[in-house]
Structure 1
Amino acid sequence: MKKVVLITGASSGLGKSIGEFLHEKGYTVYGTSRNPDKITDSVFRLLQLEVRDVESINNAVAKLLAAEGRIDVLVNNAGVGILGPLEEIPTDEIRNNFETNLFGPIEVMKAVLPQMRIQKSGLIINITSIAGYMGLPYRSVYSASKGALEYVTEALRMEVKPFGIEVTNVAPGEFATNIAAHRYHVRVSQASPYGAYAKTIEVINSQVGGGDDPALMGGAIYKIINTPKPNIHYKVGPFLSRFSIVLKRILPDKMYEKMLMNHYKL
């Protein structure tokens, strides 16, 4: 029996790459998009889903179950970036980021867990970020929302293990996607005290442009799906991105902070 996979945020970027890879491997793949009618090049079926709308989530999951009768894998990929000095980020934008990056994935998990319990099997893969392991300058909100999803995943993993359900995190580093074009970022005025922000944006955007091929994420997810007992955490992406987590563990806090400030030209 082909495994049925649901991938949120699959109309572009990492989600699309993951879906294409799994589709080629013979999985029954359903992706989601806020506006699936506008996507004409998807090789797998797209369902309408807005992660900030619980009714939309429940409708999408219901359509999938009506068509397939089961769901074996959820890849919680939908997310949005946000950049800016914390002092100057509008609070509504902070809430919106958490609605998309944290509360949305939680609601999607709530929607699929009843069916996975009935099946006594299932795998939930939450796509977080290397940024979720550390507080990065001008990425405070993004780091916080992705870090929160990491800890939610750790806890949920223990809660649902008795039902035969596995849960894991996959934290990507920098990949060459269109995330920079879609994320919110503060446009500081000339009067802003955060003049260094412009240089930091240049560094961050250059990292995205020089990131790994998104197709690598598809292979990583495929391996996890075929691992009987997945690990709690996975890190995927450029070596330096992954090694930054190791450095945070072994370096004194202030030394690590200085390293980050030098990297981001602060």
Structure 2
Amino acid sequence: MTDALPAVVAGLFGLLAGSFLNVVIHRVPLKESIVWPGSRCPNCRSSIRAYDNVPVLSYLVLRGRCRSCGVHIPARYPLVELLTGLLFFAVALRFGLTLALAPALVLVAVLVVLAATDLEHRLLPNAVVGPAAVAGLVLSVPARPEWWWVYPVSGLAAGAGLFLIASLYPGGMGMGDVKMAAMLGFFLGPYAFLAVFLGALLGTLVSVALIAARRMGRRSLIPFGTFMAAGALVVLFLGPALWNGYLGLF
């Protein structure tokens, strides 16, 4: 139980962080401040009281509706809170109280924001990707000092690789995807390439399934950033094992 206590604390903190991430997901695409005003209903603009702002629980108590105007609150809000809490818990179990924990937690928070924003708005905001890239370098290098040059090189290479693909196949992906790939390199080092590959693989499989089910057209655009975020999460937990397993095939 003692070993799990930091993970439980991280999970509870993740629930609170998820509440803030919802603000970022909603306001950044609208170019609104994420600091002021405080939490409010997007419909009636009424301030949300503290007892109505408890992660997940308040949504259940209010049955998914605003107390003031009764409008339905999107399910994305409790889902983001719950997902962030679970991911923070898992990351704390995976890395423990080490220097690698801080960049992992920051990366998870950023991936949740980017995945949701790209899914809802087909947008990977510079206001999120840019600061995250800086944070990746600042936090990752102390956790693994011998890779002080690997992280920046990986970021530049991953960004350059996707920029080349975007240039050769215009319309297939945007510059937001290119910048996100570079950011992943600053956090994950060379494993960022594996994250991009897994994201592309997952995106292709989902697209084929949706096309087969006639839920999407052949020329429809997919939120590649969302799938790349999923690939990055897999790599965060299993990157070295997957890579070593791949090399073992040869």
Pick the structure with more strand per residue. 1
Same fold (TM > 0.5): no
TM-score (norm 1): 0.30
Pick the structure with more helix per residue. 2
TM-score (norm 2): 0.32
